[in-house]
């Protein structure tokens, strides 16, 4: 008994020192053959650079904590410059020369599709996992269902186009009807492949176009609809047309490639300056957007992922980390950080990276908790959801699955402060909303 009493005292002292910060645990330095994780992307893009920066930091964290199964992790970035052929060549080098076990590609669907075929041609001789960081093209994971043996290495850390139908209640019902309380809607579509299915509908899943849903389910009148180039568009004539058509809200279906900062500056000085704007995606999801626009974003609404809502126990620590590192945390940066720890969990489950079949199986089965919900790949072989991040019910794309992804919407208000106008469940918070015209008068 005396021995156990002494042991209890030692344990108490150790934990007391840990609590007081006077004692630190040191991990054995990882050793052996490195596990290589690579990223192919445009290193100068405000959309992809933060993803690379946060992944590099995650790898440093893991190595400081002893690596993965005692092995060090090596992180390699190659610049694809946003070009398909350059990105494919960079991926080839990562796979053949760096012997990468995991290759991530930036979220441009055409780049990801080309990288997928490149990986398929190399996979037998150079087994590896290919992860698409942020694209939505259904074809990427439809292929995995149609020809599993050829494309089983392919995973998407985001969701395909049909998943986004599960957000429409929070956007059209919650934001447009419940908060802005408008009826006449103007829609600007980033004119890239990822918006095509929403503009036309998805026949094989019996999903109508978003304009049809707006009218039929929510009683909204789409008074203006126009595809626009992701960069280099002169928005002032478009905004004049929107004002002339008497829209009382503007929905810009934007992404991280869209020059929404340019749009914000033109909107604030246009005939449509008092028409509220909702930006669908991209750099507007961070505090940094206020700086990028010189405050012209005042009154705009966006999905926002640097807020103070503890969606999981990891949310607030991750946001604090992004602030400390100076890394803006748009939604795909959350995913990029989570990817590294998801890989780690899968590697540990598979017992290493040598058996690619075990590693693929482990990646299909592994679930972790991240800063914006649970991270797991869809296990049901339903097109195009299989091997994509879980968000909606694949048998009912209108239904978002609780716990897997929040729908935060916030408005830029005085001095760039954010006010929540739609909560994580898509419910409106109209008391927090202020029309842009009134914000400018304050």
Is 135 found in the same domain as 92?
A: yes
8 within some domain:
no
Residue pair 390/397 in contact by the 8 Å Cβ criterion: no
Give the Cα separation of 145 and 415 in Å (integer): 49
84 with 61, same domain?
Answer: yes
Residues 126, 245, single domain; the answer is no
Same domain, 79 and 210: no
pLDDT of residue 256: 82
Overall domain count for the chain: 2
Residues 292 and 329 in one domain: no
Residues 68 and 122 in one domain: yes
Residues 6+ apart with CB under 8 A from 309: 315, 406, 408, 420, 424
Q: Give the pairing type, strands 184-190 and 249-253.
A: parallel
Query: Are 389 and 436 part of one and the same domain?
Result: no
Same domain, 296 and 411: yes
383 within a domain of the structure (yes/no): yes
| Residue 10, in any domain of the structure | no
4 domain-assigned: no
407 strand-pairing partners: 425
Last residue of a domain, one of 375, 396, 417: 396
- 132 lies in the same domain as 180: no
Query: What ranges make up the beta strands (E) of 95-242?
Result: 102-106, 129-133, 154-156, 184-190, 221-228
Q: How far is CA 51 from CA 58, 210, 332, in A?
A: 11, 30, 7
H or E element in which residue 419 lies: strand 418-422
Q: Model pTM?
A: 0.90
Residue 245 sits in a domain whose CATH number is 3.40.50.2300
pLDDT at residue 26, rounded to an integer = 61
DSSP code per residue over 316-366: HHHHHHHHHHT----HHHHHHHHHHHHHHHHHHHHTSSS-HHHHHHHHHH-
Question: For residues 90-108, b (16+ Cβ closer than 10 Å) or e, as one string?
Answer: bbbebbeebbbbbbbbbbb
- Which pLDDT value is given to residue 127? 98
pLDDT of residue 301: 98
Any domain includes 2: no
The residue segments making up the domain with residue 63 are 35-161+313-396
Query: Are 153 and 174 contained in the same domain?
Result: no
In-domain check, residue 79: yes
Instruction: Provide the residue-wise pLDDT of the chain in tens; the chain has 442 residues.
Output: 333 344 333 333 333 333 334 344 567 888 899 999 999 999 998 889 999 999 999 999 999 999 999 999 999 999 999 999 999 999 999 999 999 999 999 988 899 999 999 999 999 999 999 999 999 999 999 999 999 999 999 999 999 999 999 999 999 999 999 999 999 999 999 998 889 999 999 999 999 999 999 999 999 999 999 999 988 999 999 999 999 999 999 999 998 889 999 999 999 999 999 999 999 988 899 999 999 999 999 999 999 999 888 999 999 999 999 999 999 999 999 999 999 999 999 999 999 999 999 999 999 999 999 999 999 999 999 999 999 999 999 999 999 999 999 888 999 999 999 999 999 889 999 999 999 999 998 7
- Give the sheet arrangement for strand 102-106, strand by strand: 73-79, 35-41, 102-106, 129-133, 154-156
Residues 263, 175 share a domain: yes
Instruction: Give the per-residue pLDDT at 25.
Output: 57
Name the DSSP class of 123.
Answer: T
Asked, for residue 348, whether it belongs to a domain, the answer is: yes
Same domain, 156 and 169: no
115 is a domain residue: yes
> What three-state secondary structure class fits 228?
strand
Q: Distance between the two ends of the chain, CA-based, in angstroms?
A: 71
């Amino acid at each position: 008994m005396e021995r156990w009493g002494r042991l209890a005292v030692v344990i108490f002292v150790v934990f007391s020192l840990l609590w007081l910060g006077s004692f630190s645990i040191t991990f054995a330095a990882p050793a052996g053959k490195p596990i290589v994780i690579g990223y192919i992307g445009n290193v100068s893009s405000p959309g992809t650079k933060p993803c690379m920066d946060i992944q590099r930091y995650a790898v440093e964290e893991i190595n400081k904590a002893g690596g993965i199964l005692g092995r060090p992790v090596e992180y390699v970035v190659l610049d694809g410059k946003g070009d398909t052929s350059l990105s494919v060549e960079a991926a080839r080098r990562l796979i053949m020369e760096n012997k990468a076990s995991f290759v991530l590609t930036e979220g441009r669907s055409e780049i990801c599709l080309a990288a997928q075929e490149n990986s398929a041609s190399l996979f037998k001789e150079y087994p590896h996992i290919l992860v698409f960081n942020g694209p939505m093209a259904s074809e990427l994971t439809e292929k995995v269902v149609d020809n599993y043996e050829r494309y089983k290495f392919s995973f998407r850390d985001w969701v395909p186009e049909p998943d986004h139908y599960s957000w429409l209640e929070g956007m059209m019902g919650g934001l447009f009807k419940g908060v802005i309380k408008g009826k006449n809607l103007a829609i600007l579509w980033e004119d890239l492949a990822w918006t095509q299915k929403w503009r036309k509908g998805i026949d094989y899943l019996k999903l109508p176009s978003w304009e049809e849903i707006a009218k039929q389910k929510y009683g909204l009148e789409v008074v203006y609809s126009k595809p626009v180039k992701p960069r280099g568009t002169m928005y002032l004539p478009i905004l004049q047309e929107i004002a002339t058509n008497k829209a009382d809200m503007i929905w810009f279906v934007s992404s991280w490639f869209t020059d929404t900062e340019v749009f914000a500056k033109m909107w604030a000085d246009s005939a449509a300056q008092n028409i509220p704007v909702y930006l669908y995606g991209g750099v507007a999801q961070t505090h940094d957007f206020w700086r990028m626009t010189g405050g012209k974003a005042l009154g705009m609404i966006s999905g926002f992922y640097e807020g103070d809502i503890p969606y999981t126990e990891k949310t607030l620590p991750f946001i604090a980390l992004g602030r400390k590192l100076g890394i803006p945390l748009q939604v795909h940066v959350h995913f990029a950080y989570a990817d590294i720890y998801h890989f780690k969990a899968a590697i540990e489950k598979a017992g290493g990276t040598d058996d690619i079949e075990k590693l693929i199986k482990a990646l299909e089965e592994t679930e972790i908790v991240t800063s914006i919900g649970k991270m797991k790949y869809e296990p049901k072989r339903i097109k195009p959801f299989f091997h994509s991040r879980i968000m909606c019910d694949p048998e009912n794309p209108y239904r978002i699955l609780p716990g897997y992804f929040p729908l935060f919407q916030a408005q830029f208000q005085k001095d760039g402060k954010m006010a929540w106008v739609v909560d994580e469940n898509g419910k409106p918070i109209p008391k927090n909303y202020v029309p842009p015209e009134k914000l400018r008068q304050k």
